[in-house]
Amino acid sequence: MMNITYFNDGNKFKQKITPILEGDYPTLARNALLFSITEGITAGKYLKAAPLMMAVNKKEKIDLVSVMTPPGRPLVISNSSKESIDFLIDDLKSKKVHLDGVLGPVEETDYFSSKWGSLTNSDIKLIMNEGVYLLEKVIFPVGVKGNLKLAMKEDLEIVSQLYMKFIEEVLPNDPSDVNDVKESVKRGIGNKYYYLWIVEDIPVALVGGGGFADKFAKIAPVYTVLEHRKNGYGSAAVAELSKQFLCDGNPFCCLFTDLSNNNSNSVYQSIGYKRVGTLKQNKFIKREY
């Protein structure tokens, strides 16, 4: 017997799904996106519209976890059986839920996309294949100038500008506007989330990250100012912040990369990150005929 539970309370959702998403370090890293979105919901990050938080139960056990933070963001899904995906799709379709896209493990994402595309007369566009990387020991780059500085409230403008440039370059399909970014950055600075790499008093790179209940730390975003690239500033910033998180007691750090960007993937591997999985994001485009 199967059923689906919808949650209105982010804390109850978090409590219910955490045991399902936990596992060894690679499993935790692959589920880090679901963890971080859930943390964002409980922190009041997504206020424009109520998030969808769902769990598909199969034989009285959760088989699929899914969350969506509208407007404009994809449905994020966990590892699951095809039977649970079918059940979720039927339920979403019956409730006339609009989906812009789906993001999750490759096999599950492709299966969901094929089914949803057929049901809704939609084409499927690949947005990104993302590499999931894990680090337990940092390898520091040699000879890189500068130092890592925790962003403070007086850095709001520069951090917002760099984060907006990151979205425009790396996440062009993200629906965030300037006001969304500024509010998010303001909240993040208050939570000691954002850092700047400083060279001769000039901020040349932005990096962000946070720990999750001592289970792991997740690094994002990472952005180096265009004219300051090829100097190792981004990798140095990630290495230094990763070291801080490990020293704070997090057993490992993780991050996500665009697998089509060979440079960033090789840079992260050079400082100790190892690839442990792949996520895929597809977009649904309604056919006009």
Q: Looking at residue 44, what is its pLDDT?
A: 79
* Residue 147: per-residue pLDDT: 98
Instruction: Say yes or no: 6 and 125 in one domain.
Output: yes
Q: Give the distance from CA 67 to its chain's centroid.
A: 12
**What would the two tokens of residue 287 be?**
């056919």
Residues of the chain above pLDDT 70, percent = 99
Q: Are residues 14 and 64 in the same domain?
A: yes
Residue 33 has pLDDT above 90, yes or no: yes
pLDDT beyond 80 at 288? no
- In a domain, residue 257? The reply is no
Do 239 and 205 lie in one domain? The reply is: yes
Domain range for 234:
137-251
The alpha-helical segments, DSSP class H, found in the chain are: 10-21, 25-30, 32-42, 82-94, 106-120, 156-170, 178-190, 233-247, 262-270
* Same domain flag for 7 and 118: yes
Is 244 part of a structural domain of the chain? yes
243 and 167 in one domain?
yes
* pLDDT for 213: 74
Residue listed under structure tokens 């039977």 = 83
What tokens appear for 26 in the block? 């690679």
**40: buried, middle or exposed (CB in 10 Å: 19+, 13-18, 0-12)?**
middle
Handedness of CA 181, 186, 187, 189 (dihedral sign): positive
Q: What is the pLDDT averaged over residues 34-63?
A: 89
Task: Give me the mean pLDDT over the 115-127 stretch.
Answer: 96
In the chain, the number of structural domains is 2
Average pLDDT score, the chain: 94
Q: Which residues make Cβ contacts (< 8 Å) with residue 199, sequence separation at least 6?
A: 145, 146, 228, 233
Give yes or no: residues 173 and 124 share one domain.
no
Contacts of 288 (CB under 8 A, 6+ apart): none
- Percentage of the chain beyond pLDDT 90 is 87
- Radius of gyration of the chain, Cα coordinates, nearest whole angstrom: 19
pLDDT for 150: 98
Question: Per the domain annotation, does 258 fall within a domain?
Answer: no
Is there a single domain that holds both residue 119 and residue 164? no
pLDDT surpassing 90 at residue 125? yes
Do both 84 and 154 map to the same domain?
no
Residue 176 has pLDDT above 90, yes or no: no
Inform me whether the pLDDT recorded for 61 exceeds 70.
Answer: yes
The pLDDT value recorded for residue 143 is 95
User: Do residues 141 and 238 both lie within one domain?
Assistant: yes
- CATH number of residue 105's parent domain: 3.40.630
Instruction: Give 213 or 150, the one with higher predicted confidence.
Output: 150
> Does residue 71 sit within a domain?
yes
In a domain, 28, yes or no: yes
pLDDT in tens, 241-254: 999 999 999 999 99
Once rounded to an integer, what is the mean pLDDT over residues 76-86?
A: 98
CA neighbor of 204 nearest in space, from 190, 224, 182:
224
Average pLDDT on 99-107 reads: 97
Both 145 and 239 in one domain: the answer is yes
pLDDT for 264-283, tens place per residue? 999 999 999 999 999 999 99
Query: Contact 83/2 with Cβ under 8 angstroms?
Result: yes
CATH of the domain at 238: 3.40.630.30
Burial of 75 (0-12, 13-18, 19+ CB in 10 A): buried
Domain presence at residue 72: yes
Q: Does pLDDT of 67 surpass 90? A: yes
Q: Residues 278, 131: contact at Cβ < 8 Å? A: yes
Residue 239 lies in a domain: yes
Kindly tell me if the per-residue pLDDT of 43 is higher than 90: no
pLDDT of residue 71: 78
pTM for this model (two decimals): 0.95
C-beta of residue 274 within 8 angstroms of C-beta of residue 135: yes
pLDDT at 47: 67
Confidence class for position 289, pLDDT limits 50, 70, 90 = low
Q: How many helices (H) and strands (E) does the chain have?
A: 9, 12
Residue 217's nearest CA partner among 273, 147, 150, 285 is 273
Using CA atoms, how far apart are residues 88 and 90, in angstroms rounded to an integer? 5
**Contact between residue 6 and residue 95 where contact means Cβ atoms under 8 Å apart:** no
Determine the Cα–Cα distance for residues 146 and 226; give it in Å rounded to an integer: 17
> pLDDT tier at 192 (50, 70, 90 boundaries)?
very high
220 inside domain: yes
Taking a C-beta distance cutoff of 8 angstroms, is the pair 271, 138 a contact?
yes
Is the same domain home to 155 and 206? yes
- Flag whether pLDDT at 52 surpasses 80: yes
For residues 127 and 27, state if they share a domain. Answer: yes
pLDDT at 1: 85
